[in-house]
Amino acid sequence: MLDTGDQAPSLSLTRIDGEPFSFLTGPQTQSRLLVFFETDCPTCRLAIPYINRLSRELGEAGYILGISQDPEQPTRELIAEAPIEFAVALDRDLSVTKVYDPVAVPTLFLIGNDGRIIQTLSGFDKRALNEIASAIAGKALVIAEPFDGAPDTKYGCVSRHLEGDVRGEIADAANPYAKRGARASRIELDDSVDPFDYCMQFGDPLPVIPPTVERVERMLDACPLPPDEVIALIPPNYGAATVEKIAANAVMAGCKPEIMRVLIPLVRAVCDERFNIHGVQATTHFAAPLVIVNGPIRRELGFASASNVFSNVARANSTLGRALQLILTNLGGARPGEIDMSTLGNAGKFSYCIAENEEENPWEPLHVEMGFKPEQSSVTLFAGESPHGVSEHSARDGTQILKAISRALATVWSYRVCAGVEAIVVLCPEHVKTLYREGFSKEAVREHLFLNTGIPLRHFEDGSGEGTQYIKLYNQVTIDGEPCYLKFQDASAIKIIVAGGTAGKFSAVIGSWAAGPRGSQMVTYPIADCGLRIADCGLKRSLRQSAICNPRSAIGGVVMPITLVNPLDETHRPPATAAPRLDSLAGKIIGLLDISKPGGNIFLDHLERLLKQRYGVAAVVRAMKPTFTKPAPDSVIAKFIDAKCDAVIEALAD
């Protein structure tokens, strides 16, 4: 790839509007910005609005040219959909791409007046975008604001000219921008088939309610969105969660129709890249998505927030949590023993949904802390372990209660693992009353727990075991007169909610999976008022009433067949074709991919020696994923493609 200081090669292309575009090597009258992109790249789509903003700021003072690596039709569709406001040209034969040689897209090349490359950017990076904008504008210019809902950085997709040949049948690529999906197919069951037994294949091993057409239509009546609207694509298989498919899974979970008000934004939230449901569903850890409901919707739909809040106490809690899990399994494909490889699992994978007890909370509830108004309703997701109970009935002051909680927090993930974890503290009303009476604010509780949750240094003296390899990253403090490593990186890693009954002094802590951008981040989405009253969700016809109460309606004494709405992902996925095997390793180039888990580099070091000494490989190319919780970015894969590796070995180690 061309880099800063290189002379920008000349190019000649035709713009999408038919106008020719030429760029000659050498001095220019003004700076130029070349933007290489693909039409199906999510990172390219993420970057386009910011480049549009730069184009508007520059006006006639600068020149931006987008260079599409795809054919004319999808390029025109992207220009209309995004939309793209700057000039676009087609690199039909990828000849310009091959000269500039970007590893990934989007890649930006800022070319100065002298014809040399001033700066490059591969992928998405807000800081670099602002630097490029300021350089081309000749003044400080911010086009990418922090906290605008987009990530600070995001890896790009492999450039078209580096994509390898693929053998065998290829599944249709998922279109992440499709607004409509196919309607669900219908499954006809004759009277010899028990519909309840037949539906046992859909989702978890517990019985489900058959998703008959009548039941699904009733669910759809409670949602103003069209049945074929795509709400999200569910990882890891990226099945399309249309409103109809969501409704079918909601029926199976036993949801009332009005739960669709919460389920639609919940599906959007679980597919938020910050939450990383792909990693949560594939990990060997205990984590499961914990759903937390806040706001007036709790009372409107009957969510439990008091006694037995984590139990089977309310239909709303149990069915919403189960509907989400069925959607993840049936549309996302993360079935236990296949993609879901959790070592011990989590009972929350049946249903893991609570509401905050705002009536017993003297502080701001979670959704207000996350930026919403008290009168708004919201749903929050946290990738968490099972609750770890904290009993403290003897303490008469708040500090002693917090000491008991801090001891439980110290065990989150693993006792000696610090800094890379988060936790939710679920305070029961009785503990909250004591803390509030003594003047503790929510922030004071959080800060106290942060500063007083640590692991004594003496527990690291043996120098072995999980967590000991990271002590250089830990912050040291003194707690109760003893030097300790702080359990959490900062106070914000501790989230606090109030829930549970008013009798009993039992609180709980819930540990996270891998936290932060490298793992899973808590996300909160608003629950919109769909404009339907709960009464409107009732049945519209008495005939439909009888069909819903009895899965087999009878006409004239004859039992009729029933029709189910298919709740599964129906995308055609051909069987995977194994790549051809090498007859010999001698003289070959072998790639070694370290997924960045502890111990992987040790294994790969040994493997590299064996490959060279015993098998006579010509060269070994090493690369490391930035995090083990997510798929390897295309920029990492491109390294192996660029090196023309004959085979790649991936190392998984702990």
Q: Which two tokens stand for residue 597?
A: 């888990």
From 162, 181, 214, the end of a domain falls on: 162
Spatial distance between the Cα atoms of 309 and 106, rounded to a whole number of angstroms? 47
Whether residue 518 sits in one domain with residue 471: no
* Residues 455 and 532 reside in one and the same domain: no
Higher pLDDT, 364 or 628: 364
- On whether residue 45 sits in a domain, the answer given is yes
Taking alpha carbons only, the member of 128, 137, 242 closest to residue 182 is 242
Burial 301-323 (b: 16+ CB within 10 A, else e): bbbbbbeebbeebbbbbbbbbbb
Q: Is the dihedral of CA 249, 253, 257, 260 positive or negative?
A: negative
- Asked if residue 113 has pLDDT above 60, the reply is yes
DSSP string, 398-465: HHHHHHHHHHHHTTSSSTT--BS--EEEEE-HHHHHHHHHTT--HHHHHHHHHHT-EEEGGGGTT--S
pLDDT of residue 538: 41
Is 543 domain-assigned?
Answer: yes
Is a pLDDT exceeding 50 seen at residue 555?
A: no
How far is it, in rounded angstroms, from Cα 573 to Cα 287?
28
Residue 376 within a domain = yes
Domain assignment present for residue 183? The answer is no
pLDDT value, residue 614: 95
Q: What's the burial of 596, exposed, middle or buried (CB within 10 Å: 0-12/13-18/19+)?
A: middle
What is the pTM assigned to this prediction?
A: 0.79
Length of the chain: 654
Look up residue 523 and give its amino acid. Answer: V
Q: What are phi and psi for residue 122, nearest 5 degrees?
A: -110, 125
pLDDT at position 25, please? 66
Considering the domain architecture, whether residues 363 and 402 belong to the same structural domain is answered as: no
Please identify, among 162, 178, 195, the residue that sits at the C-terminal boundary of a domain.
162
What does residue 612 show for φ and ψ, rounded to 5 degrees?
Answer: -80, -45
66 shares a domain with 21: yes
Do residues 103 and 252 share a domain? no
pLDDT of residue 554: 46
Do residue 425 and residue 440 come from a single domain?
yes
Which CA distances in Å does 259 have to 124, 541, 550, 551?
37, 21, 22, 21
- Does residue 531 have a pLDDT over 80? no
Identify the helix (H) or strand (E) that includes residue 166. none
Decide if pLDDT at 645 tops 80: yes
- 30 is in which domain, residue-wise? 11-162
To the nearest 10°, report the CA torsion of 615, 621, 627, 628.
Answer: -20
**Strand stretches in 439-550, DSSP E:** 454-456, 476-479, 482-486, 494-498, 506-511, 523-527
What's the mean pLDDT in 221-237? 93
Give per-residue pLDDT as tens, 158-201: 898 887 655 555 555 566 667 888 999 999 999 889 999 999 99
The answer to whether residues 336 and 260 belong to one domain is yes
In a domain, 179, yes or no: no
User: Looking at the structure, do residues 217 and 339 belong to the same domain, yes or no?
Assistant: yes
What is the DSSP-derived secondary structure letter of residue 500?
Answer: S
Q: 360 pLDDT exceeds 70?
A: yes
Residues 378 and 412 in one domain: no
Q: Do the beta carbons of residue 131 and residue 138 sit within 8 Å?
A: no
Residue 436, Cβ density class (10 Å: 0-12 exposed, 13-18 middle, ≥19 buried): middle
- pLDDT tens, residue by residue, 257-299: 999 999 999 999 999 988 999 999 989 999 999 999 999 999 9
Q: How far apart are CA 621 and CA 605, in angstroms?
A: 12
The CATH code of the domain that includes 89 is 3.40.30.10
The structure tokens listed for 586 are 């001698």
Residues 240 and 228 in one domain: yes
Number of alpha carbons in the 13 Å side-chain half-sphere of residue 180: 5
Residue 480's CB is within 10 A of a number of other CB atoms, namely: 9
Residue 226, pLDDT score:
96
Give the model confidence (pLDDT) of 21-60 as tens digits.
887 766 666 789 999 999 988 899 999 999 999 999 998 6
| Mean pLDDT, residues 333-354 | 91
Structure confidence at residue 532 (pLDDT):
45
- Domain membership of residue 641 (yes or no) is yes
How far apart CA 537 and CA 531 sit, in angstroms, is 11
Cα distances (angstroms) measured from residue 147 to each of 553, 614, 637: 54, 52, 30
In this predicted structure, which of 41-45, 139-143, 310-314, 546-550 has the lowest mean pLDDT?
546-550
Do residue 294 and residue 279 come from a single domain? yes
Q: Which residue has the higher pLDDT, 635 or 548?
A: 635
Half-sphere exposure of 158 (CA within 13 A, CB side): 15
Asked if the structure places residue 466 within a domain, the reply is yes
Rounded CA separation 293/376 (Å) = 11
466 and 446 share one domain: yes
Number of domains in the chain: 4
Buried b (16+ CB within 10 A) or exposed e, 411-428: bbbeebbbbbbbbbbbbb
* Domain presence at residue 584: no
For position 150, what pLDDT does the model report? Answer: 78
Q: Are 207 and 196 in contact (CB under 8 A)?
A: yes
- CA atoms lying within 13 Å on the CB side of residue 549: 8
What pLDDT is recorded for position 545?
Answer: 39
Residue ending a domain, choose from 110, 143, 162: 162
Q: Could you tell me which residue, 630 or 27, shows the higher pLDDT?
A: 630
Mean predicted lDDT score pLDDT of the chain: 89
